[in-house]
């Protein structure tokens, strides 16, 4: 198994024709005296094919799982654990619901990410072209995908771009780091 990890950000791991990515989600779990468990084991279990059945003692997350036969999102907000199957097509998720029109970046850009018109390796470049266009709003705009969240009280910045595909031949995950965190530059994904 190989993977990509960002501190309290996201984890991605491909194994045996399966991809799992865990993303931050708004939650109600306080940062109190009781230690919060790592979410890393959740994504590792997911790439191994184990479904999350019991609410974890972690901060909120959206766990996206993708196989050649479909995609699901498991959502944990600190209160309720839910799992939904995604219909074929393009979807976006940030810190709340899938395709949530109340999330500024989803409302602004979801329709911009059309299904790729190209096959083979070229789809990544087409996707990066679209992502580059979204950066015109700047990294602190609510519509930004490549973000600098420090002005909003969160010490987080976008660090990398990750692309993934799953098919009959297996999983292909690639990533490229930004030259400067939170600022768009065209990374080379490899």
Q: What is the arithmetic mean of pLDDT over 175-181? A: 96
Q: What is the arithmetic mean of pLDDT over 178-189? A: 96
Rounded Cα distance, 66 and 2, in Å: 15
Identify the residue with better confidence: 118 or 103. 103
Helical H segments across 87-139, by residue range: 104-109, 122-134
Whole-structure pTM value: 0.85
Could you give the percent of the chain with pLDDT greater than 70?
91
| Sequence-ordered list of residues with C-beta below 8 angstroms from that of 160, at least 6 positions apart, any chain | 4, 6, 175, 176, 177, 178, 187
* pLDDT given for residue 16 in this prediction: 62
Confidence of residue 2 (pLDDT cuts 50, 70, 90): low
Tell me the CA end-to-end span of the chain in Å, nearest whole number: 16
pLDDT of 168 strictly over 90: no
pLDDT of 13 strictly over 70: no
pLDDT, tens digit (0-9, with 9 covering 90-100), for 73-91: 999 999 999 999 999 888 9
**What average pLDDT is seen over the chain?**
88
* pLDDT given for residue 66 in this prediction: 93
Q: Largest alpha-carbon pair distance within the chain?
A: 51
Tokens representing residue 150 in the block: 């420090």
Identify the residue with better confidence: 1 or 96. 96
**What are the beta bridge partners of residue 11?**
5, 22
* pLDDT given for residue 186 in this prediction: 95
pLDDT of 8 strictly over 50: no
């Amino acid at each position: 198994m190989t993977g990509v990890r960002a501190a309290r950000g996201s984890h991605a791991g491909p194994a045996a024709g399966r991809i799992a990515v865990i993303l931050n989600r708004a939650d109600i779990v306080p940062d109190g005296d009781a230690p919060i468990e790592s979410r890393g084991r959740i994504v590792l279990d997911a790439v191994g094919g184990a479904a999350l059945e019991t609410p974890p003692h972690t901060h909120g997350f959206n766990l996206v799982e993708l196989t050649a036969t479909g995609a699901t999102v498991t959502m944990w907000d600190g209160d309720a654990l839910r799992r939904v199957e995604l219909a074929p097509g393009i979807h976006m998720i940030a810190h709340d619901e899938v395709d949530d029109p109340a999330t500024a970046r989803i409302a602004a850009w979801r329709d911009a990410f059309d299904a790729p018109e190209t096959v083979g390796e070229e789809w990544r470049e087409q996707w990066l072209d679209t992502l580059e266009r979204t950066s015109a709003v700047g990294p602190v705009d609510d519509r930004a995908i490549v973000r600098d969240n420090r002005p909003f009280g969160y010490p987080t910045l976008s660090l990398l771009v990750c692309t993934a595909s799953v098919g009959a031949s297996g999983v292909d995950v690639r990533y490229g780091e930004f030259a400067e965190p939170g600022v768009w530059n065209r990374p080379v994904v490899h």
